[in-house]
Each structure stands twice: as C-alpha cells, then as structure tokens.
Amino acid sequence: MTPAFSVCVYCGSRPGASPEFAKTAQVVGTWIGQHGGQLVYGGGNSGLMGEVARATLKAGGRVVGIIPKALLEKEWALDDCTELHVVETMHERKRMMAERADAFIALPGGIGTFEELFEVWTWRQLGYHDKPVGLLNAQGYYDGLLSFMDATVKSEFLTDWQMQLLQIGTDPRALLQRLVQDAGLTPAPHLSQI
C-alpha cells in the first residue's frame, strides 16, 4: 500500500536526559503510523531514532531507514525497517532522505540533528525544495536556540521571512498535521476512526 505521506524525522541517536524525550518520539512515530504515513529517518536503532521508528512500525506505518556503512555498527541499524538502505556517505544519506520525504521535522538531538535541520531549512530558503520544515520544541529543548535565532533576526543576519519557513511547535500531533497539510497531502483518518 502506498503511504499517504512521508515525513523525514531528524532526532538524537541518544535518549537524552529526560524520559519525556522518548515519549515525544513515540508520539511522533505513532501519529505517522496511525495516519497511513511513512517515516524516513537515519536508520538507527538507538536513542530517539529507535523510539520513533519502532513506534511507527507498531502503529502500522512504513519505515525507511538510510544509514551510511560507517555508522552501521555505531548506531546498530534497525533491522525491522520496511526498507533499510546502506549508503556510502553522509551526503548520500541526506540526499536520499530529502528525496524520499514530503516534509521534515526535527526533534531533540545533537549536532547531527542541528546540521540536518539547518541544511534542509537552508535548501528551502534557496528554493532547492518547497517542502515544509518543522522544529518540535519538546519540553522546551530548543528554547535557547530559538532565543538565539530571535537575536539573529534583530541583528539582521536572518530575516522574518526565513524564520517563517521554519514551522515551530510544541504539540507533536498538531505540528505533524500542519506539516503534512502544508505539503499538500491529507493524512489518512486515525485508525480508531476507520
């Protein structure tokens, strides 16, 4: 069955200090699966990456994992992925993730998550794609970054228009719904409503 939409999720390969981060990742994966969607992600089994992937599968969604050979052992790739692609480089991984997605969302994570978010956001403002990009500020994790970006706008290194290209939310379900709709797609009804 063809998925109703594909969401690329960027998030940590570590669980983070709070169990709430894992719960948020599970909510994201469950929503994707329950609404007939497909998760596109970095292919890892650990941390928030593993949580979002397992939750998507458990809720009936498809999972496309894309992992470079060099990270295969470090991240212990999730063998249960619907599709698991092992690629040569990080550049190939990110390109394939972007191509397979209708929308992007960043959950809490580290430098890899930051880099992926900023790259896909940069691509959007340059016109390389017109897919929606979201930032999930779970448990206030990104408060400091958002404050810094506000200072960047005030210093005129970032414009209001560029900031508007990044959809920011604290409710994972509402943000996912908005991203999928902004991609011009319609999530399937929640499984409990079918």
Average pLDDT over all residues of the chain: 95
Per-residue pLDDT at 194 exceeds 60: no
Instruction: Determine the pLDDT at residue 118.
Output: 98
Instruction: Determine the pLDDT at residue 193.
Output: 46
Range with lowest mean pLDDT among 73-82, 154-163, 168-177: 73-82
**5-182 CATH fold:** Rossmann fold (3.40.50)
Spatial separation of the C-alpha atoms in residues 41 and 19, rounded to whole Å: 21
Q: pTM to 2 decimals? A: 0.95
Both tokens of 158, joined, read 């970032």
Spatial separation of the C-alpha atoms in residues 88 and 17, rounded to whole Å: 31
What are the residue ranges spanned by the domains of the chain?
A: 5-182
